[in-house]
Amino acid sequence: MTRGSRAAGRAGLASLQFGLVLFVLLPVFWMVSVSLKPATEPFAIPARLWPDHPTLANFLHAFRPEFRTYFINSVVVSLATVAISVSLGLLAAYSFTRTQFRLLSVLMALVLAAQMFPESAIIIPIYRIMRSADLLNTYASLIIAYVAVTLPVAIWMLRAFLMRLPPTLEEAAEIDGAGPLRTFLDIVLPLSRPGVVATAVFVLVVTWQEFLFALSFISSKSMRTLPVGINDFIGQYGISYGELMATSVLISLPVVAIFMVLQRYFVAGLTVGAVKG
Amino acid sequence: MMIPRILLAATALMAVATTAPAQTVTLRFWDNQQAESGLSIYQKEAVQRFEKENPNIKVDVTTVPYPEYQQRLLTAVQGGNAPDVATLDQIWIAAFAKAGVIEPLDARAGAAGITSATFFKGAWDSANYDGHLWGIPFNVDAWSFTYYNKRLLQQAGVDPQSLLTWKGLAAAGKKLTGNGRFGIGLFGHKGEDTTVVLDSFIFSNGGKVLNADGSCALTSPQSVAALRYLQSLVPYAPRGILNAASGDMRQLFLNGSLAMEFWPALEQPTLLKSKLDWGFVAGTAPAGKTPVGTYGGWNLAIFKSAAHKDAAWKFIRFLTRTDVNGSVVDLIPANIAAAKTFLAGKRRGPRRILKYLEDAAPRPLSPRYLEVSNIEVTLAQDVYSGKDPGAAASTACAAIDALH
Amino acid sequence: MKRGRWLVFLFVSPAVILVGVLMYYPMIGTVIDSLYATSFIDPTPKFVGLSIYREILTSIDFAEVVRNSCIWTAGVVLLQNVVGFAFALLLDQRLPGRALMRSLVLLPWVLPGVVAAILWRFMFDPQLGLINSFLIRLHLSGQGIPWLAQTSTALPAAIVAAVWKGFPFSTVVYLAGLQHVDAEQIEAAIIDGAGQLRRLFDVVLPAMRELIALNVILTTILTFNYFDMIWVLTRGGPENATNIFPTRIFELAFGEFRFGEGATYGVFSILVLTLLLALYAAIRRGAERKSAGA
């Protein structure tokens, strides 16, 4: 292959990459476009890609007091879930990785298999449990349920990551007389940071969009989270598509932003985790 | 249940639990979240007024949007956590009564001198099941008024009054379809709005959904003729009827590409806010017959499990009072006197709306109504997708009669 | 190691307890419920054994739900993995703007599920939607196609939306895996004169077999139980064209107040999913035996 044709090939591939990503992002672009359309500008048939007179008015409408309340609730619930799920997941994954006995493997398989249950079939019994524990309408109800859902996957991801760490490091620490807890805190924890970030992002993305539990456990308006809250805005008789899309953009922004900042770790963490999964 | 309780309580310590200190009687009231913006302010004011009149009662209001209300209420009731008092859709009353989760109100209503005369007949009927009264009518509406775009009709030389007859409506639909525009917006997605429009055409032709003995009446000549008529309107409708909801038609109507649409009176506030020049006629029927709409609306009910039934009753009495009812609803007050004031002040064509409400018929009062309704949705989808109406009705009736 | 055992159990116990109490305990309740005729309007349970199972097994609804669930799961999992892998291959090339492209391609996965579903319902709108706008402008269709409103196109359309939402996760997983395919093996294949495609099938795919298997299993479970997308797009309609287990269970339990049947569908749902996974395992074992024999 000549140098020139290789360069041309690379340019071709680069534009292919660019084009495909654009194609994937087209719906997102359209969401933003509709969110900028003034309420007075009617929808054209067939649809147009960009409004004639873009405006931020929809965003001003969408950013109402309820939205702010729901937003704060979502943040609290998501962050707490991430913190608990990742910590518990790390401890459990560490145990699974470093210790081999049959009972543990069986438990692990059972914990992972829990993902197979359709939520809508077990939501009423779960609701009863929350009620008898007096947890309805609390952050705790959601955090506990979300930890139960995300913890199995968190363990799976973290375990795959921890298995890549060379056991010699820990052995050296043990020879130095450090107990298992010390070893974990001083040696394992600092080394597993990329895996922790990757898992945290995964848990955050899942938690941020959960709908059915949030709908069932929370009735009070002041405790609602965003995915349920967006339905408040739709209601039976609907708001304009512009406002709906503006709200959608606002809901998506925080996760997208966090994700953009952390994506390097995320990809790195998964890189390690996935291979040895 | 002991073990999970301890475990969860222990886990709960990790997070902040919020519990309100109980001082006076706190009444838990659940309501369908109403759509008209600004209404929640009136609702809040009404609650404040009630609390002032009854200093030892506090009302804790929870509003849930319609699409989620059924699921959330059901989960709460099944989970042993029903509110004290709630608005129930007319079509749920029979099921909730049969399930034994709401209180019969005959004695209380009798003692308070509440009679059917205060309310629209259809609303009152919908609160009665199996010889008892289970709720007090709160608000009502009827499907469906035929809304039209004045300018489009004028351009096509269509007289709006002609839409009142089936023949006129179909002719107008034909005239107004073409050049990227559509005549009549039909919707047939999986949803109750599909059923109520279907019903109103059946009712207006003298047909019924169920006979008095509960057997299916959809195969009667009147019902099948109504189905056949609806099918004849399909060429004038925007594409995608089988996944369209009534709300999906709004954008098309507002941007001038849809000339006529079926909506309840509740659509008026949205249209009043737009720049569109619109009008409406009250239903449509074959020449010589009276248009009969389908009743919709909500009744206030007290749950069996309620801790404060007397307070709940006081609150119901308050909300349905002539001077209060009109300010806390976005549908139409079920109290006729309140409805007259409400319509005169807030809706176009109040007298036509009143007349249509008086003529409207309720949906079947069956504890298994929701299953009947889903079968009707399938029937509507069969009809809109071109299947033979008679055969489709037979299939639907076989399914409905198999329920009993 | 021995003295650490109690610590191990301590670490693992929160996960086991939470999953046990919140998932298994209700699940056992669901199985028991399915043996009783209970519904909202008739709350006194009557033991009926397997008669609800028999009734459901012979219903047309059930056959349709099983068929849809299998098409939906197989379609989404297959496409999601193929598209995900293709994007991973592309993004693995050292091309300008690679880092940016890698984060952008993940956007659909990060978008909240309800938002993505609302967006796609709007994309597919026969009159206002972007997809039909393109078809009309390019003169591929005169009036546009009502994608979600025809029994023939509704399920494929829903699959497209779900793949769009889900493929980026597979891309990241495979992108990660590609970085660990032995560079020496690839070089050896190049020296052997293997073309791009041969290289892919002879070196890259075998090296990533484990990873692909894992990802397929995970996406199968998640897709089979994926509720939001179809619920927002079509609620399982038109007719029953897109009704899958999770939407049917929701419709029965909360839409029609039929808890007993909802529970039975729940049990069936677990059975069908187990079967799907077993089938997959069998196919893989067969393929492995074949490749070992070759």
Residue A222: CATH number of its domain:
1.10.3720.10
Which pLDDT value is given to residue B3? 44
Q: Would the CB atoms of B17 and A139 count as touching at under 8 Å? A: yes
The verdict on A6 and A80 lying in the same domain is no
Any chain B CB within 8 A of the CB of C146? yes
CA distances for B9 relative to A73, B246, C99, angstroms = 21, 45, 46
pLDDT at residue A5 is higher than 70: no
The predicted model gives C123-148 an average pLDDT of 87
The predicted model gives C111-133 an average pLDDT of 88
C-chain CB neighbours of A89 within 8 Å are: 15
Whether B256 and B152 have beta carbons less than 8 Å apart is answered as yes
The verdict on A149 and A258 lying in the same domain is yes
Run of H or E residues at A54: none
Q: Is residue C46 part of a domain?
A: no
Whether C225 and A118 have beta carbons less than 8 Å apart is answered as yes
Sign of the CA dihedral with A181 first, then A182, A188, and A191 last: positive
pLDDT at residue A148 is higher than 80: yes
The verdict on A70 and A85 lying in the same domain is yes
The verdict on A45 and A169 lying in the same domain is no
Share of chain C above pLDDT 70, in %: 92
Instruction: Say if the ipTM goes beyond 0.90.
Output: no
* DSSP per position, C197-228: HHHIIIIIHHHTHHHHHHHHHHHHHHHHT--H
pLDDT at residue C138 is higher than 80: yes
The verdict on A1 and A105 lying in the same domain is no
The verdict on A94 and A21 lying in the same domain is no
Nearest alpha carbon to residue A227 among A240, A236, A238, A216: A216
CA distances for A237 relative to A48, A240, B253, B264, angstroms = 25, 10, 14, 11
Nearest residue in B to C254, CA atom: B71
Domain boundaries, position A134 = 62-276
Nearest residue in B to C21, CA atom: B4
Which pLDDT value is given to residue B14? 39
Tell me how close the Cα of C163 comes to any Cα of chain B, in angstroms. 21
Q: Would the CB atoms of B367 and C41 count as touching at under 8 Å? A: yes
The residue out of A38, A55, A72 marking a domain boundary is: A55
The verdict on A126 and A6 lying in the same domain is no
The verdict on A156 and A236 lying in the same domain is yes
Domain boundaries, position C214 = 59-293
Any chain B CB within 8 A of the CB of A44? yes
Run of H or E residues at B332: strand B332-333
Any chain B CB within 8 A of the CB of A87? no
The verdict on A116 and A168 lying in the same domain is yes
Which pLDDT value is given to residue B383? 97
C-chain CB neighbours of B89 within 8 Å are: none
Q: How many residues does chain A have?
A: 277
Least confident of A10-14, A81-85, A208-212, B367-371: A10-14
Give me the total of CB pairs closer than 8 Å, taking one residue from chain A and one from chain B.
117
When computed from its CA atoms, the radius of gyration of chain A, rounded to whole angstroms, is 24
Other C-beta atoms closer than 10 Å to the C-beta of B155 total 12
Which pLDDT value is given to residue C83? 93
B-chain CB neighbours of A123 within 8 Å are: 75
Any chain B CB within 8 A of the CB of A263? no
3-state DSSP assignment of residue B306: coil
β-pair type (B145-149, B278-281) = antiparallel
C-chain CB neighbours of A272 within 8 Å are: 176
Q: Is residue C148 part of a domain?
A: yes
The predicted model gives C68-90 an average pLDDT of 93
pLDDT at residue C180 is higher than 80: no
Q: Report the alpha-carbon distance of residue C274 to residue C268 in Å, rounded.
A: 10
Tell me how close the Cα of B30 comes to any Cα of chain A, in angstroms. 9
Which pLDDT value is given to residue C276? 80
The verdict on A36 and A155 lying in the same domain is no
Q: Is residue C225 part of a domain?
A: yes
Whether A66 and A235 have beta carbons less than 8 Å apart is answered as no
Which pLDDT value is given to residue C207? 78
pLDDT band, very low/low/confident/very high, at A234 (cuts 50, 70, 90): low
B-chain CB neighbours of C154 within 8 Å are: 243
Tell me how close the Cα of B161 comes to any Cα of chain A, in angstroms. 27
Tell me how close the Cα of A34 comes to any Cα of chain B, in angstroms. 13
pLDDT at residue A237 is higher than 50: no
Nearest residue in C to B375, CA atom: C239
Q: Is residue C36 part of a domain?
A: no
The residue out of A55, A70, A87 marking a domain boundary is: A55
Tell me how close the Cα of C84 comes to any Cα of chain B, in angstroms. 30
The enclosing domain of C94 has a CATH number of 1.10.3720.10
Q: Which of B5, B12, B81 is closest, CB to CB, to A140? A: B12
Nearest residue in C to A231, CA atom: C114
**Residue carrying the six token digits 């956590």:** B81
Q: Report the alpha-carbon distance of residue C279 to residue C22 in Å, rounded.
A: 28
Report pLDDT digits (tens) over C158-169: 999 999 999 988
Instruction: Give how many domains chain C has, as a whole number.
Output: 1
Q: Would the CB atoms of B98 and C41 count as touching at under 8 Å? A: yes
Q: Would the CB atoms of A128 and B65 count as touching at under 8 Å? A: no
Q: Is residue C42 part of a domain?
A: no
Tell me how close the Cα of C294 comes to any Cα of chain A, in angstroms. 26
Paired residues of C39 in beta bridges = C42
Kindly report each contact of residues B219-223 with a partner whose C-beta sits within 8 Å and lies 24 or more positions away, as own/partner: B219/B390, B219/B393, B219/B394, B219/B397, B223/B393
3-state DSSP assignment of residue A38: coil
Which pLDDT value is given to residue B11? 45
Which pLDDT value is given to residue A4? 65
Q: Which of the residues in chain B have pLDDT under 70?
A: 1-23, 34-40
Q: Would the CB atoms of B8 and A133 count as touching at under 8 Å? A: yes
Positions of E strands within C58-175: none
Instruction: Give how many domains chain A has, as a whole number.
Output: 2
Tell me how close the Cα of B248 comes to any Cα of chain C, in angstroms. 9
pLDDT at residue A174 is higher than 50: yes
Report pLDDT digits (tens) over B344-362: 999 999 999 999 999 999 9
The verdict on A195 and A99 lying in the same domain is yes
Interface test with chain A among B32, B41, B69, B72, by most A beta carbons within 10 Å: B72
**Which residues 6+ apart lie within 8 Å of A251 measured at CB?**
A226, A227, A230, C112, C115
Report pLDDT digits (tens) over C19-58: 888 888 888 888 888 888 778 888 777 888 888 888 888 8
pLDDT at residue C67 is higher than 90: yes
Q: Report the alpha-carbon distance of residue B357 to residue B73 in Å, rounded.
A: 28
Positions of E strands within B163-310: 182-185, 258-263, 278-281, 294-302
Least confident of A221-235, A258-272, B390-404: A258-272
Report pLDDT digits (tens) over C232-281: 899 998 999 999 999 999 999 888 888 888 889 989 988 888 888 788 77
Q: Which of B33, B71, B180 is closest, CB to CB, to A232? A: B33
Q: Would the CB atoms of A129 and C25 count as touching at under 8 Å? A: yes
Whether B38 and B70 have beta carbons less than 8 Å apart is answered as no
The residue out of A26, A55, A84 marking a domain boundary is: A55
pLDDT at residue C198 is higher than 70: yes
What domains are there in chain B, each with its CATH number? 25-142+296-358 (3.40.190.10), 143-294+365-402 (3.40.190.10)
Whether B117 and B282 have beta carbons less than 8 Å apart is answered as no
Q: Is residue C239 part of a domain?
A: yes
The verdict on A179 and A129 lying in the same domain is yes
Run of H or E residues at B247: none
Angle at C205 between CA C203 and CA C208, to 5 degrees: 105
Nearest alpha carbon to residue A134 among B402, B80, C96: B80
